[in-house]
Chains A and B, each alone.
Chain A
Amino acid sequence: MGSGYLSCTSAFSGSPQPQPCGKALMQATGHPNDILPLTLTSATQELFGCRCDEDVTGDNPYKILRKEDIVQDMRMRAAVSDFSPMKQLVLDYPEDELLLVYDRDFIYGSSFYLVLTADAKERHLKPVVALGVEVALEREPSEVFAAQKTSEPQPWISLGSEQEIEEESVTDSRPRYRISRVRREFGSPIFFSDRNAMETKDGFIECTPYQDKNFSLKQMERHTGVQTIPNLKSSSTQTQWTYPRSMCTQYEPREFSEEKKENCLQSEKLKNFVNSVASRFEMAIQQNEIMDVFFDDWKALSEEDSGYGRKADPHLKEYQSFTDLHFSKEKTISNINWHPTINGVIAVAVTERLSFEDRINGSTKLLLNPSLILFWSFSDPINPQLLLECPDDVFSFEFCPSDPNIIVGGCMNGQVVLWDISTHVEQLQGTRTNKRENETPVVRYCAVSGIENGHKAPITDIQWLPGTFEVSRMGVPMENKNGICVQIVTCAPDCCVMFWDIRAPRVLQTMADQRKQKVEEKPLENPHGVPNTFKHLDLTWKPLIRVQHISYCQTQLQRVLSTTFCPQDGELVYTDWKLEKDNDSGRLFSAKPSHRFIIHDGQVNTVRRSPFFKDIILTVGGWTFAIWKEGVTNGPIIQSSCSQKKCTVGYWSQSRPAVLFIGKEDGNIDVWDLLEKTHEPSQTQNITATQITCIKPWIVSSKQHLLAVSDHLGTLHILEIPWTLRSPSSNEKLSMSKYFEKEVDRLVYFEKRREMRAKEKKDYEAEELRKKMVRYSI
């Protein structure tokens, strides 16, 4: 209690200095040391001028008394004086004036108290003022601060914590043992010996085990808690294993029977329902009609934009070019074909670049130099992968659509040749193992048609009939159930279109013949290592049907379902090749061509169907190209203007319905975009210096479209089609078909006008004649 209390109140009552003698008394009474509560009688009060509530009040409790006066009062009144108990204190007081404070609230137990030290007096008088000012400015912290500052260090009182620390610290607790040895035995080896512990009396101290009763206590009483729970029962069962079985169910929606339906329909409820609900439907349906809410305008907008933005690079980029110095020197490429299944393999037919006379003159030399079809692969631009040997120059060849290992070609001497490359397929695919052979493998043809049976002129085009299709001997198309392509069509300038069948002729296959043939075939040698696939046809192959045309027939066929186009010297002929029976003689003959058109100025070298529209055909010849629509017999629906150089070959783009490629005599490729411009090509690009002989596009992947272009010098160029030319714009097909329709309408209109004009002219002439007659008669 002591010091702490004192320090708190020292602000009010001065420093807690220990006061002499009677301070102990004061401490006991609970008021500070340096003041002394006392009671003054009213007589004393009057005497000193400190009457309660008159001279001294609550507001002004201080009264300075002179020491002399107090001393005199004590002398005069001795024991009766109020000041007598503190006589000594008063006498000890250093100054002349003492402070008497009126304790109105009896804080210290009496109505007055006397301040006993000068410091206290000062503090009483002054701090009131000071405090009065400072209280307004500062608050408690300053008082607390002042309180803390004035605390002084006190001696440490032990509360027992140092014993814990002493316990933890390590000290020597037992005396140290001292061992001494004789000096001469320092460092000498020590010898230990054994001693039996039993010998001596206190050799060992035994600690025998004993049964501790603590561990065998039996617990007689125990405190446990108990709780009730519902009855638990555990059991197990084995499920029945079923195996899955295929089952099927069929359902049909439930319908009311007729009468119930009638009842329903008549009911009032239905009427109300329909009436209430109809308005919602009308609103919704109308909304749909007005506009399509889910149409993404943003996406549609972007397509057109990107087309313009990317115009930076519309050119065909050179991807690779193939030329073989050994085999295609002095030669030209007549036909190109991409391998239908193996990626990156392309086959070209190389032929001599000689005119007819030169050919006759140099025929002996030509025999030594065999004609070839080269297979190129993108992985090897220098060496061809495979060579196919031909009996004569091949102008046209095709891969079989159902079996890409079979290739058919048409030769210059009118023969039809078949190759089977199944043994070399792995090599073409690039998985070859013996790379040691520097020689490119040569495959000989495995079947060739008889010279007397074939065409009399070079075969200019050859096509496979589609696998679902075959033609009977009568010329009637039938369904081919196998799905394998078995028939070929050829055409040549000898006015013939021939149909060939690659299966063994059924007529010869009687039982006896079969056996005989089998026996014969076995000892047959296989000198050239040629597969026996078409042995039955070799040298005995005859065409199935021969269609005779009246006029000169050349160039290309288009594989169609029931009709053929046979373009000739500028003429386009449209025929139906069904053989008809002449009723008189019983012979079969072909029908007359149904239409003939003379459009092109020169030889028509290309007839191609559009891959997007089944009835649109492109023809290229002379200096122009034309687009035809099947069924429209007035003429071509579109015809291009004459270009500066001759057009040598043309092809539709595989991915864009409006684009076509035209190859020219001077080595240029014209790219025509029919939706952009129809009076001139949308772009022209020079590929090579000589005439372009063949163009074939091919789609490798959605990002890569290639165009194979061959030229007169025997070089094969592979070009990459840029994005602008290969990705169709939105609605391109629709726009093209609309464009074609418009053109057809134009033709029809022209035709009508022509008729009308003819009629008008006739009428006019008739009128004139009549007028003349009238005039003369008069």
Chain B
Amino acid sequence: MTDDKDVLRDVWFGRIPTCFTLYQDEITEREAEPYYLLLPRISYLTLVTDKVKKHFQKVMRQEEVSEIWFEYEGTPLKWHYPIGLLFDLHASNTALPWSITVHFKNFPEKDLLHCHSKDVIEAHFMACIKEADALKHKSQVINEMQKKDHKQLWMGLQNDKFEQFWAINRKLMEYPPEDNGFRYIPFRIYQATTERPFIQKLFRPIASGGQLHTLGDLLKDVCPSAITPEDGEQKIQVMIHGIEPMLETPIQWLSEHMSYPDNFLHISIIPRPTD
């Protein structure tokens, strides 16, 4: 029987084979070859694409290069969403490698946040962790930690160090013995078809009678339109880290084992492929 801790490793080390191609209208001095990279599902585009940037800048003139941004089939990719979420939401049922287009001009101000330095990514990452702990523990655990512990979470992510990260993160996954779980579950549900970027609400992992709420309970409560009746065929897929967990899975377990490093469960609802 697989140990639950193995799930933590599988989530951390998930990778997506990606092919980066320079946008055809970018002005180059030589032809730009595509660049192939295995992207960590749990990280952020602007954190792991320094090599991509260097590769394309080599064939461009300095004055043609401004802030890098990424696009998939016409959709600007939000760097502040974890890579795995972007893939599940936009490309999970397409053939690998994931084909991403690289831009250096015409930054889409109305769609994307700016990311001028790694500090911006760190600030965003830490803000998510803090918000998650506000939901789980009324911020008590994160506020009790020292600055160096916060730094260790970020460094663990940045340097892909599972042990370093989880040495601190395990404290964010604990709860008082008298409770059976967190106060509220940090989650966001994404559907590519809506204007609203995601749904986030207060949701308790334990029912008043003491039973564990499931993934199915969460979906019924938060976006009932997404769940079709049990006897009918599910027209949609509920995806986390590239898999469809059973709807009977306790949401507390999912929160402890399948959250992203920012401590949120990022859940994609996508159309089920018809073939």
Asked if A and B are interacting partners, one says no
